[in-house]
Amino acid sequence: MSNAYDTDIPDSVDPVDDDCVEPAGEACVYTEYVEGEAYDDVPATGEGAEGVERDVWDTLYGIEDPEMPVSIVDLGLIYGVSVDADDGETVATVDMTLTYSGCPARDMLQDQMREAVEAVDGVDRADLRLVWSPEWNLELVTEQGKQDLREFGLSI
């Protein structure tokens, strides 16, 4: 059977016995949020960011949700961005979430983000960290995001 939907579990998540008899190769119907470090000030919008950090934010604003024409920043998926030097490299760390933990577009979106952020001048490496606290909800969508979603035909 194809392994296209192989379930990779992030390092930050403790695998939970979910009663799936044969998880490999079969879609598992059960996903669970895992509590982690809580972020107080979400969504992050990059307000006040400068320099390379500003450029990373601008790049993120240019990336749309795979399903809807709304920036992932306006959708409220980004919880934080920091740019630091690490062993001679400049690393952009992006803390992000997804609308739900079993999001099928996870790899697609992260690959796209990694490529875009690493293309920013002054960034050598992108480190994308998936976090689930607080859980994403509709209140994290910015006013601009709500407007974009309404134009797309979504009631919000």
Partner 1 sequence: MRRADPSVTTSGDLEGAECPYCGSENTVRDHPKGPSLCRSMHYCNDCEQPFERFE
The token pair at 44 is 């992050």
Residue 108 within binding range of partner 1, rule CB under 8 A: no
In the chain, the amino acid numbered 25 is G
What is the pattern of x (binds partner 1, CB under 8 A) and - over residues 49-88? ------------------x---------------------
Look at residues 86, 81, 19, 7 and name the one whose alpha carbon lies nearest to residue 45: 81
CB of 151 to partner 1, least distance (A): 8
Q: For the packed helices 106-118 and 51-61, what is the interaxial angle rounded to 10 degrees?
A: 140
- Span of 13-21, 33-41, 51-59, 113-121 interacting with partner 1 by CB under 8 A: 13-21
The token pair at 23 is 């998880």
Instruction: Please give the residue ranges that form the binding site for partner 1 (CB under 8 A).
Output: 18-21, 29-30, 67, 99-100, 138, 149-156
